[in-house]
A and B are shown apart, each in its own frame.
Chain A
């Protein structure tokens, strides 16, 4: 992604019908799109799809196996419906993915834009910071930050934002370095436009494609990262529920109640797969170098 993209500028304004035509020809993309759609609907409609609350169960009905009357995927050690927990859990898992990408993406993009466009000491300082941070393994960094901030939904997002914004900064800076030499930027400058105007009206639209592609793929990775952090005990705290938390809790019961960890694991794998397929498809239609 270090090579410049052609300055088409029209990527985002394609007509929806054309996107749909391209999507229907791209079978993996279509599958991914359907998966994402189903997960979004499931999380939005959780309250309608299941009569059970995610955090309160009937203790008497604990550890019912999948297929028990009224509990399609069984119940957990406290009698809570596993399906209900997966449905409600998708809200937090998805919300963490989306919020983090939006905040980290915005932060990283702004830093990358300014750093790439203006260069100089700002660029040097920002990029050294990025280098330092990238030298830490992601999960280690996330764990250290979580340990300092503590668990919970908000802190988890802060942790993930701090851990991932540098990717956007570095990516955007690389793109900006190429774009800012283009003729239309020269022309705008000659026309008397201010730096801010050039950055946001001419440069940003032309570096937005890779940002969108990376973001879509990041969501999947963040959902997995949330699971990993919650699994290690630093993430979402009850009564909130996420897939990662379900995996962590279910681990203790692998021997006698396999469904507790298996179903959230499958949900996590399918969601990550679906989002990745969509991301791949976005790249395929927007990255001209991949066209034959």
Chain B
């Protein structure tokens, strides 16, 4: 636009542009066939296995920065006290072999014996104590501080027993032990935390080799790993920020594992001969929040229910998500160990929806709602927002105006309660009830989209401190039923996470997004 009156050259330029578009179209038709060439030759087994993530690790220190990409990487160097069973996702032993509540505020953990850090130092109760003390040392400014601040006192009666005292009854303490990565106490004392930041020493399956910031993190198998030496000898994490570059690196055989394959690219990966898509039902749930912070149509429970009846969620899963999502009935996914299995998804029932609108005295065809959505953050989020808007218009006559936000802006609008009537959000890894409903149904919580009525609020407040597992489950089951009846969201689905995996390795992705490369093997 720097020329006031374009000369004839502009016309020629446009004609060229038109030709370029046509050529591009022709080229795209051709590329899908050429990529179907039969599989490439198998790479030699010695070549390091490369995991490409969207970002580099932000630190080599455990328990310092809360960031999934960082955790995914250093988790291969450090072991955690508790883990989640790869099938049931219930808490399972790792460095702690057993645990029990001595009373509402006291927890005892028995530790695995004969485990050594990479520098030969033995793993004992002292390691757990020193690590928690480090997190609670305010001057260290760990992001994990708030997650552990309920701990009042740490006792180590012997080398393999840790007793934790909490300030108030905190059943959530157990979840915090999943993710506690103990550091070597002797090294910390002699050389300080800075040494550990440069050269991490854990008890985990992989030993640190080198780290070049923003380029690669190199690891090698720990021959003395307590659960046996990993089969993949050399492991490299590489940050590749752009998705399409990650995808081409996978298809070129340069990398072996990538995350978040979009539904539309599944076919391309599977037909490449170089790699395949491995999927896992994610513990991350996607939902449409129906906000009731301000008086409006969505303050009426009947209208929120009607919106649930009026959207063909199964149809969207089948045709828009191409089956890569799992319907959930209430606010928790089906793999969540605390899910209330008695709830059944709202059926798709337009007549019922219309009846509810009539009961509420609102004419849906005169209703305009606004919805905020991110684009590119969750699988098919852009399409899902439009599909739901189209469903509400087609089935009930409701006009839905969508605003797509850049990711940071989207979160900001949710935090400041500046979204439209509805917003699309994902939540996870969500494997317990309190961490989902306790955060998302309560008015003053950061990412909440719903203000519980006094009754629901009371149920949640009463359930939080219950330690007894049976009573706790019963309380949260009742809350899930209440949240379902209140229709706090348009309940959608748990995502399916799609990983691209090269054909030279076996790798099983996890629902909680952890990348456990020590379980991977070479393919014969």
Residues of chain A having any CB pair with chain B under 8 Å: 1, 28, 55-57, 59-60, 62, 77-80, 138, 150-152, 164, 167, 170-171, 210, 213-214, 217, 221, 225, 233, 237-239, 249, 252-256, 258-259, 262, 265-266, 269-270, 272-273, 276-277, 279-280, 283
- Assembled-state Cα–Cα distance A56/B4 (Å): 40
Q: How far is the CB of A286 from chain B (nearest CB, A)?
A: 11
Contact of A78 among B28, B318, B386 (CB under 8 A): B386
Known: A255-B31, A255-B32. 19 other contacts (CB 8 A): A59-B312, A59-B315, A77-B264, A78-B390, A80-B390, A170-B4, A210-B5, A214-B4, A238-B389, A238-B402, A239-B393, A249-B382, A255-B264, A256-B268, A269-B17, A270-B18, A273-B18, A277-B11, A280-B11
Q: Which residue of B lies closest to A263 (CB)?
A: B25
Instruction: Tell me whether A239 and B389 are in contact (CB under 8 A).
Output: yes
Decide if A280 touches B8 in the complex (CB within 8 Å).
Answer: yes
**B264→A233 contact, CB < 8 A:** no
B100 at the interface (CB under 8 A from A): no
Contact present for B1 and A256 (CB under 8 Å): no
Of A1, A28, A238, A280, which one neighbours B386 at CB under 8 angstroms? A238
In the assembled complex, the Cα of A258 lies from the Cα of B30 at a distance in Å of 11
CA distance A1 to B4 in the complex (A): 8
Contacts of B2 in A (CB 8 A): 138
Contacts of B14 in A (CB 8 A): 269, 272-273, 276
> Does B18 lie within 8 Å of A269, measured CB to CB?
yes
Which chain A positions have C-beta within 8 A of B400? 239
Cβ–Cβ contact A239 & B1, under 8 A: no
The distance in angstroms between the C-alpha atoms of A253 and B25, with both chains bound, is: 12
Shortest Cβ distance from B438 into chain A, in angstroms? 33
Q: For the complex, is B21 an interface residue (Cβ under 8 Å from A)? A: yes
Residues of chain B at the chain A interface (Cβ within 8 Å):
1-2, 4-6, 8, 10-11, 14-15, 17-18, 21-22, 24-25, 28-29, 31-32, 262, 264-265, 267-268, 312, 315-316, 318-320, 375, 382-383, 385-387, 389-390, 393-394, 399-404, 406
Say which residue of A80, A164, A238 sits within 8 Å of B1 (CB atoms). A164
Taking the nearest CB of chain A, how far is it from the CB of B498, in angstroms?
Answer: 15
Q: Is the interface of B mostly helix, strand, loop or mixed?
A: helix
Selected from B21, B265, B399, the residue in CB contact (under 8 A) with A269 is B21
Known: A56-B393, A269-B21. A256 touches B4 (CB 8 A): no
Contact B17 A238 (CB under 8 A): no
Across-interface contacts of B315 in A (CB, < 8 A): 59-60
Q: A244 → chain B, closest Cβ, in Å?
A: 13
Chain B hits for A170, CB < 8 A:
4
B262 CB contacts on chain A under 8 angstroms = 252
| Binding site secondary structure of chain A | helix
Q: A233-B404, A273-B14 are in contact. Are A77 and B265 (CB under 8 A)?
A: no
Shortest C-beta distance, A117 to chain B (Å), equals 20
Q: How far is the CB of A105 from chain B (nearest CB, A)?
A: 13
Given contacts A78-B320, A239-B402, A269-B18, contact A276 B10 (CB under 8 A): yes
Asked if A256 contacts B386 (CB within 8 A), the reply is no
A259 CA to B8 CA in the complex, in Å? 30
Report which of B5, B22, B265 forms a contact with A214, defined as CB distance below 8 A. Answer: B5
* Given A1-B4, A237-B404, A280-B11, A262:B25 Cβ within 8 A: yes
The residue that A56 contacts in the complex, of B268, B312, B390, with Cβ under 8 A, is: B390
- Contact assessment for B267 and A256 in the assembled complex, using a CB-CB cutoff below 8 Å: yes
Residues of A within 8 A of B386 (CB): 55, 78, 238-239
Would you list 18 pairs from A and B whose C-beta atoms are within 8 A, ordered by A residue?
Answer: A56-B394, A59-B319, A59-B320, A60-B315, A77-B320, A77-B383, A80-B390, A138-B1, A151-B404, A152-B403, A167-B4, A233-B375, A238-B386, A239-B393, A239-B400, A252-B264, A258-B29, A259-B25
Residues of A within 8 A of B32 (CB): 255-256
The closest CB in chain A to the CB of B402 belongs to A238
Docked Cα-Cα span, A277 to B11, in Å, equals: 7
How many Å from the CB of B2 to the closest CB on chain A?
8
Please, which residues of chain A bring their CB within 8 A of the CB of B17?
Answer: 269
Question: Which residues on A sit within 8 Å (CB–CB) of B25?
Answer: 258-259, 262
**B401 partner residues in chain A, CB cutoff 8 A:** 237-239
The distance from the CB of B184 to the nearest CB of chain A, in whole angstroms, is 47
B395 → A minimal CB distance (Å): 10
Shortest B6–chain A CB gap in Å is 6
Say which residue of A150, A266, A277 sits within 8 Å of B18 (CB atoms): A266
The distance from the CB of B214 to the nearest CB of chain A, in whole angstroms, is 26
| Complex interface: chain A residues within 8 A of B6 (CB) | 217, 221, 276, 279
B264 & A237 in contact (Cβ 8 Å cutoff) = no
Residue of B nearest to A167 (CB): B4
CB-based contact A55/B393 at 8 Å:
yes
Residues of B within 8 A of A265 (CB): 21
- Taking CB atoms, residues of chain A closer than 8 Å to B11 are 28, 273, 276-277, 280
Point out the residues of chain A lying under 8 angstroms from B394, CB to CB.
Answer: 56
